Amino acid sequence: MPHPAPDVIHRSVPSPAGRIHLVEQGTGPLVLLVHGFPESWYSWRGQLPVLAAAGYRAAAVDVRGYGRSSKPGQTDAYRMLELVEDNAAVVHALGERSAVIVGHDWGSAIAANSALVRPDVFTAVGLLSVPYAPRGGPRPSEIFARMGGEEEFYVSYFQEPGRAEAEIEPDVRGWLAGLYAALSADTMPGPGTPDPHFVGRGGTLRDRFPAGRLPAWLGEDDLDIYAGEFERTGMSGPLARYRNMDRDWEDLAGFDGAPVTQPSLFIGGGLDASTTWLADAIEAYPTTLPGLVSSHVLDGCGHWIQQERPDEVNRILTGWLASLPA
């Protein structure tokens, strides 16, 4: 996988969070890259040099609560509208008026809502792994509580402050290795094995993670970088994103059912539960993403899409960027 060149720039810029740390490479139109859980700017290491070589200024942020970005102490400081304003502040702090925004996992939802709420700043949006689904229906907590029968869905498991932290923080590196493996195409549990998205009664998520082998995209040095970030910062800031889903549902009531109309792109993994569970959301794209330029599901790919299949994602991403109006 390509890695950022030595001339990448690390900087921290002011935002409503306090500061947002980012890593940028290249010159040209700004492309803002937003990671998901549990990751960091480093998730885009395979995209930064390729986007720079294609004539773009690529900037990968640490979302608030992660890495070197500010970590507010209040749970409600991690609501979606706050993250949207962080992204807009980054664009302006970099001296730009607008940007294309691309996100993966939670970053996909953050990117979609950034385009929805701040169309004055975000002119196009790329969504990786998690499809866009407009705000609507029952409260998210009610939906997730009904999933899994006697088992507990991971989003529900994450709700109580301190509970998931107690599982993860004693062995951050081991937990991350297990989660990354559980959702990667080459190491995920096979058919007929317990689903790692659910927790058995009295159990933990880690109980269902595969052990002993890293996915091909993840070297020991890469894992050290990820683990080092969370060992330093803890997990409460990242987990707070899950703990604001009902607040987001309330905050975004004015956007109920709203489409994202800017030029858009979707790339999902064929083996990713985010793609299969949300197949109806993908089918609804003619209504919910009327500006969709192209949609791709990569056969045999898991959840960590831009790291599992960097060359393919880079080809699709740079082709889409080249198609956008100047």
In a domain, 217, yes or no: yes
Does 99 have pLDDT greater than 80? yes
Domain count, the chain: 1
User: For residue 4, is it within any domain?
Assistant: no
- Residue 116: give the domain boundaries: 9-323
Q: 202-260 pLDDT, tens per residue?
A: 899 999 999 889 999 999 999 999 999 999 999 999 999 999 999 999 999 999 999 99
Whether the predicted pLDDT of 98 surpasses 90: yes
Average pLDDT over residues 117-146: 96
Residue 101 contacts by C-beta under 8 Å, 6 or more apart in sequence?
A: 31, 32, 34, 87, 111, 114, 115, 122, 124, 125, 126
Comparing CA positions, the residue from 40, 41, 53 lying closest to residue 315 is: 53
Catalytic: 303?
A: yes
pLDDT over 90 percentage in the chain: 93
Any domain includes 2: no
Domain-embedded: residue 115? yes
Query: What is the domain-level CATH number for residue 101?
Result: 3.40.50.1820
Q: What tens digit of pLDDT does each residue of 162-197 get?
A: 999 999 999 999 999 999 999 999 999 988 899 999
Residue 3 lies in a domain: no
CA nearest to 134, candidates 24, 280, 303, 319: 280
Spatial strand order of the sheet with 30-34 comes to: 9-15, 18-25, 57-61, 30-34, 99-104, 122-128, 264-269, 292-298
Q: Which of 62, 105, 248, 251 is catalytic?
A: 105
Would 246 be classed as within a structural domain?
yes
